[in-house]
Amino acid sequence: MAGPSVVGGLPDYTPVGIDGWKRRLASARARLAAIDRKSLPVAASTDAALLNAQLNALDFQLRVLRPWARDPGFYATIWAEQSDVPGHEGPYAPTIDLWRYAYPLSTADADQLDAALRMVPALLEAARTNLSGSNAHDLFAYGARAFHEQAENLDRLEHGTLELRSLAGRRRADLSGAGQRLIPAIRAARAASERFAAWVEAEAPKRTGPSGVGRANYDWAARHVYLSPYDWSAQETLLRRELARAWAGLALEEVRNRGLPPLAMPNDPAAFDRASLDKANRFTRFLIDKGFVADTPYFRAAIPAQLVRWTPPAERNFFGHVVASDPLPLYSHFFHWIELARLEHEPHADPIRRGALPFNIWQDRSEGVATAMEEIAMQAGLYDDVPRGRELVWIMLANRAARGLASLYVQDNRMTLAEAGRFHARWTPRGWSDADSPLVAFEQLLYLRQPGYGTSYIVGKAQLDDMLARQAERATRKGRAFDVAAAIRDIGKPGVIPLSLVAAEQTESGS
SS (H, E, C) 435-458: CCCHHHHHHHHHHHHCCCHHHHHH
Asked if residue 334 lies in contact with residue 84, where contact means CB atoms within 8 angstroms, the answer is yes
**Contacts of residue 88, Cβ cutoff 8 Å, sequence gap at least 6:** 79, 95
pLDDT of residue 226: 98
Which residue, 467, 422, 428, 412, is CA-closest to 444?
422
Q: Which amino acid is at 131?
A: L
pLDDT of residue 509: 64
Gap between the Cα atoms of 274 and 310, Å rounded: 10
Q: Within the chain, which residues score under 70 in pLDDT?
A: 1-2, 509-511
Gap between the Cα atoms of 184 and 265, Å rounded: 44
Query: Angle between the 438-449 and 453-477 helix axes, to the nearest 10 degrees?
Result: 70
The pTM score is: 0.96
Gap between the Cα atoms of 217 and 212, Å rounded: 10
Burial of 437 (0-12, 13-18, 19+ CB in 10 A): middle
pLDDT of residue 1: 52
For the chain, the helix, strand and coil percentages under 3-state DSSP, each to the nearest 5: 65, 5, 30
Q: Over the Cα atoms of the chain, what is R_g?
A: 23
pLDDT of residue 2: 63
**Region label for 10, one of left (φ > 0), alpha (ψ between -120 and 50) or beta (otherwise):** beta
Gap between the Cα atoms of 152 and 359, Å rounded: 27
Which residue, 454, 453, 485, 456, is CA-closest to 468?
485
pLDDT of residue 507: 76
Gap between the Cα atoms of 157 and 46, Å rounded: 43
Q: Which amino acid is at 297?
A: P
